[in-house]
Structure 1
Amino acid sequence: MTTAERLRAEGEARGEARGEARARTETLVDLLDTKFGSLPRAAIQKIETGSPEEIRTWLRRSVTADTIEQVFNG
């Protein structure tokens, strides 16, 4: 593999990872909006700046949470 091919593959992988992260973020916002109604701007900002691990945790918590606070605070 040439250097150019390697760099192109790395760039594609980064782009795919960003796309997947964006999709998870949008899914979480949609899910919480459906479950709890219109989300406060602070909640949306928290989701948008959350790490992939945090997003996964919040997605899992959203299934059983009774309040938006339980999603973010456990």
Structure 2
Amino acid sequence: MERFRTLSLTEIRKMFQTLTPLQETRAYREIFAEGEIEGKIEGKIEGKAESLKRLLDRRFGTLPGWAEERLAKADSDQLDQWLDGVLDAGSLEQLFTC
């Protein structure tokens, strides 16, 4: 703040007119892009979980709470593993132990 004390009101106004809008800054674009990527990854995980839930509902009937919890907490790799095993598993317990 000290460095601004020597500036006139006209100089300060001129300075504010030349500021780059936040949306045009490199940092903003990088943060926005990172958030967009994270959103896409989360969307893919949610899609896998929903697909697996539908398959399990058809195969084994309505899922118990513990199975739904496992689906909700699973990462992408775990969901892929369960999707690969859904047709071979004889029970929910067997699938979720692989």
TM-score (norm 2): 0.70
Superposed CA deviations along residues 2-53 of structure 1, whole A, max 9, x for unmatched, are 1111111101000111111111111111110011111111100111011221
Letter in 2 for 1:60: D
Tell me the equivalent position of 2:8.
Answer: none
Of residues 62-71 and 23-32 in structure 1, the stretch that sits farther from structure 2 once superposed is 62-71
Pair 1:17-2:41 in alignment: yes
Give the unaligned 5+ runs of structure 2: 1-24
Query: Matched residues in 2 for 1:60 and 1:5: separation?
Result: 38
User: Do 1:24 and 1:55's aligned partners in 2 also have CA atoms closer than 8 Å?
Assistant: yes
SS in 2 for 1:66: coil
Pair 1:64-2:88 in alignment: yes
Query: Matched residues in 2 for 1:29 and 1:72: separation?
Result: 13
Give the unaligned 5+ runs of structure 1: none
> Which of the pair is proportionally richer in helix?
1
Query: Matched residues in 2 for 1:50 and 1:7: separation?
Result: 26
Letter in 1 for 2:92: I
Query: Matched residues in 2 for 1:38 and 1:57: separation?
Result: 21
Query: Matched residues in 2 for 1:8 and 1:64: separation?
Result: 42
Tell me the equivalent position of 1:26.
Answer: 50
Tell me the equivalent position of 1:52.
Answer: 76
User: Do 1:47 and 1:55's aligned partners in 2 also have CA atoms closer than 8 Å?
Assistant: yes
Kindly tell me the number of residue pairs found equivalent between the two proteins.
Answer: 74
Structure whose alpha-carbon radius of gyration is higher: 2
